Amino acid sequence: MTAAKYLKIGFGIVVIAALIIVPMNFNRYGLFILSQWAVMTIAAMGLNLTLGYAGQVSLAQGAFVGIGAYTAAIMTSNGLPLIGALGVAIVLCFAIGWILGYPALRVQHHYLAFVTLAFSTLAFLVFRNEDWLTKGIYGISNIPRPELFGYPTRRPLPFYYVCLGSLGIVSLAVWWLIRSPWGRAFIALRENPVRALSLGIDTRRYTLMAFAIGSALGGVAGTLYAPLTQYVDPVPFHLSLSLDLLMMVIVGGSGFFFGPFLGAMIAVLLPEWLRFTQGYYLMLYAIAVILLLIYSPTGILGILDRFISERRTKAASAQRAVAKAKLEVTP
């Protein structure tokens, strides 16, 4: 058991080191794609909290990314620091999530999905129509990249490290959260809401909390998206981004900590790898996702999980057999 744990830690260190060192000689395109992956992973982690841990479907994660992106775009274009925008985006998304979730969760079930579906289209319309704030369909261009501790991050590599670092911080925070009593309450909610209620957990408040925190992480992803692309317009934050993020969570494995990492990898990198097929690449991507889900509806990590638990059951039944044999031998 401890050997397996060391193996896990060692593997983690190798992956992190690789994420830091390997991209050093990537070209600008590779760095951009990897940065996109980091940003989308943050947004998907937020959704994973809502969906995977608290069991609620949100169809507005893309809209929260949009709110974060617009907050960053508007504030940094006016000379305010990105870190300030980050704070505003977190508070804004958390508050909106709370207000949206409150009435929807009154009736449980798929109503949060419906309300968030409506919200994401409403948000798109506001981004597009309120010229005075968002510059409408023209979008906001020339969004500056921040300076961190006096270092400019204008070049692709430094900004990739900003994205990767943010992903690291968010991962640690989420890791801590799901191991805190709150996180355990979230999981209790997903597994058995009635029992959770009877154990004295205020189910609605915790569900709401999970959704609001998840939405705030969408906002965090947005504040990185804006300086990454350096241009924000309403179109990328349409309902389709919310659906894409949902796909990332499910494909990676909803409810698994590392699910969003893999899901975002599939959603961001797989189409890029398939581009050599020219006009067919999105079709092949769609087929790949469908096949994967048919093979393992619990996502990529579901396969791994199934494999591990099968091995455990095998090991356990082997042990049982041994124990049984011993029992039979003793008398």
Partner 1 sequence: MKPVFLASALLATVLTGAAIAQSGAPIKLANVAELSGGGATVGTNWKNGIDLAIEEINSKGGVLGRKLEVTHADSQSNPGVARAQVQKALDAEPYVLLGPGYSGSVKVTAPLAAEAGIAQIMGGEAAELTQAGNKFLFRTSFGQQSSMPKVAKYINDELKAKSVAIVWVNNDFGKGGRDSISKEFAKYNIKVAADLSTEAGQADFAADVSKIKAAAPDAVFVYVNEEESARILKELKRQGITVPLVGETTLVGQKVVELAGDAANGARGHVGLTTDAPVELIKAFRDKFVKKYNYVPDHNGLKGWLAIYMIKATTEKMGKVDSKGFADALHGFTITAAKEPGILMDATFDANGDIDRQGFLVEIVEGKQVVKQVLPKLNN
Partner 2 sequence: MSNLLDLLIAGLATGAIYAIVAVGFTLLWQTSQTINFAQGEFVMLPAFLMLAVMHAGAPFWLAILIGIALSLLLLGLGFKMLLVDPMLRHGVLPLAIATMALAIGIKEAAKQFWSAEASPFPSIIPGGDITIFGRVVALQSIGVLVLAILAVLGLTTLLNRTSIGHQMQAAAQNPTVARIIGVPVERMILLTFLINAFLVALASLLITPIYLAKFSNGEVLGQAAFIAAIVGGFNQVRGAIAGGLLIGVVDNLSAAYVSTQYRAAVPLVLLIAIILFRPQGMLGRPEERTV
Binding site for partner 1 (CB under 8 A): 27-29, 32-33, 36, 128, 136-139, 141-142, 225, 228-231, 233, 235-236, 272, 275, 278-279, 281-282
HEC per residue, 272-322 = HHHHHHHHHHHHHHHHHHHHHHHHCCCCHHHHHHHHHHHHHHHHHHHHHHH
Q: Which is nearer to partner 1, 11 or 29 (CB)?
A: 29
Any bridge partners for residue 151, and if so which?
A: 148
Please state, as a whole number, how many other Cβ atoms lie within 10 Å of the Cβ of residue 226: 30
225 binds, among partner 1, partner 2, none (CB under 5 to 8 A by kind): partner 1
3-class DSSP assignment, residue 140? strand
C-alpha triplet 322, 327, 330: angle, nearest 5°? 120
Q: Which is nearer to partner 1, 95 or 118 (CB)?
A: 118
Read off the DSSP letter of residue 136: G
Q: Does 210 bind partner 2 (CB under 8 A)?
A: no
**Angstrom distance (rounded) from CA 56 to CA 207:** 8
236 binds, among partner 1, partner 2, none (CB under 5 to 8 A by kind): partner 1
Any bridge partners for residue 140, and if so which?
A: 232
Structure-block tokens of residue 130: 């309120």
Any bridge partners for residue 231, and if so which?
A: 141
Q: Which is nearer to partner 2, 102 or 257 (CB)?
A: 102
Residues 104-123 that bind partner 2 (CB under 8 A): 104, 106-111, 114-115, 117-119, 121-122
CB of 236 to partner 1, least distance (A): 5
**Angstrom distance (rounded) from CA 80 to CA 42:** 23
64 binds, among partner 2, partner 1, none (CB under 5 to 8 A by kind): none
C-alpha triplet 216, 218, 221: angle, nearest 5°? 115
323 binds, among partner 1, partner 2, none (CB under 5 to 8 A by kind): none
Contacting positions for partner 2 (CB under 8 A): 51, 57, 103-104, 106-111, 114-115, 117-119, 121-122, 125, 128-129, 193-194, 239, 243, 246-247, 250-251, 254, 279-280, 282-283, 285-287, 289-290, 293-294, 297-299
